[in-house]
Amino acid sequence: MIKINLSSYIPDSMDYSSSSIEGNTGFTNGRNSATDSGVLHLLSTKHKPLREVCEVRRNSEIIERLARLRTELGKISPFPETARQAHAAILAAMARADLGDWTIPDLDDTSSVSYRDGSIRINLIAHAITFNPWGAFRISNLRSSVDTYFELAGTNQRIFTVPSESDE
């Protein structure tokens, strides 16, 4: 099954009058006629992905906080041996970076995603953290053209591996 998140697109510019919407999107008389390719064409040609738009909107304070966090994450030593140790190491790095007002859900939080290989992903507002069972982790930036914000190997310097399939 392919899921398309329509909310991840924001129009560059668009006339929202009813005639414009009917003529350009394939919506007619309140019914969706997406098979007319109007909606798909509109999404593919007139919208920017959310990550391109939001990257520009980060204020200098957030950029500075993210830089402090990256510096502290780089100081994690030794490499974590488990996902729980990696989670604790990230929380410790956040504390050292003076980011006490930022939070990360627990690994067993209902919002976390479990993978068949034992990896766990936690979705945040602008980032996602994926933990491998051997302690490696990747923090992905969901609002930037550069996907990886930070990555660290786990036990025995085993590198992070992207999980292939979730249990959902």
Q: What is the pLDDT of residue 39?
A: 38
If you average pLDDT over residues 131-152, what whole number do you get?
Answer: 93
Residue 111 to residue 102: CA distance in whole angstroms = 17
If you average pLDDT over residues 154-161, what whole number do you get?
Answer: 95
If you average pLDDT over residues 99-126, what whole number do you get?
Answer: 94
Of all residues in the chain, the percent with pLDDT exceeding 70 is 64
Residue 121 to residue 83: CA distance in whole angstroms = 10
* Residue 79 pLDDT greater than 90, yes or no: yes
Q: Which two tokens stand for residue 137?
A: 């982790």
Q: What is the pLDDT of residue 22?
A: 41
If you average pLDDT over residues 81-99, what whole number do you get?
Answer: 97
* Residue 49 pLDDT greater than 80, yes or no: no
Q: Which two tokens stand for residue 167?
A: 């249990």
CB–CB of 87/107 below 8 Å?
A: yes
Q: What is the pLDDT of residue 15?
A: 44
* Residue 34 pLDDT greater than 60, yes or no: no
Confidence grade of residue 164 (pLDDT, cut at 50, 70, 90): confident
In the block, residue with structure tokens 């790095």: 93
Query: What integer best gives the mean pLDDT of the chain?
Result: 75
| 3-class SS of residue 36 | helix
* Residue 32 pLDDT greater than 80, yes or no: no
Which amino acid appears at position 12 of this protein?
D
